[in-house]
Amino acid sequence: MKQGIHPEYVEAEVICACGERFITRSTKPKIQVDICSKCHPFFTGKQKIVDTEGRVEKFRKKYAKHGK
């Protein structure tokens, strides 16, 4: 590898929206995420609709009258 062209690889604190925090390594010292392994439906076994842009509500509103 060439010297002096790679970013510094440091310890990084990852903060989830659920409040979970853990340490990993990255080129950025702080990372914020919406879903982690503590709250992701695949790992918890509970269904949870994760909608940050309102797509689920838009879909339900659009097709609400067609469902009956």
Per-residue pLDDT of the chain (68 residues; tens, 9 = 90+): 788 899 999 999 999 988 899 999 999 999 998 888 888 777 677 766 666 667 777 778 888 876 55
Residue 12 contacts residue 25 (beta carbons within 8 Å): yes
Position 4 in a domain: no
For the chain, the domain total comes to: 1
Contacts of 35 by beta carbon, 8 Å cutoff, 6+ apart: 16, 17, 18, 50
Position 2 in a domain: no
Position 3 in a domain: no
Residue 21 contacts residue 14 (beta carbons within 8 Å): yes
The boundaries of the domain holding residue 56 are 10-63
| pLDDT score at 52 | 62
pLDDT tens sequence across 21-30: 999 999 999 9
**CATH number of the domain that 23 lies in?**
4.10.80.400
| pLDDT score at 25 | 95
Q: Give this prediction's pTM.
A: 0.57
| pLDDT score at 48 | 65
Position 68 in a domain: no
Residue 25 contacts residue 9 (beta carbons within 8 Å): yes
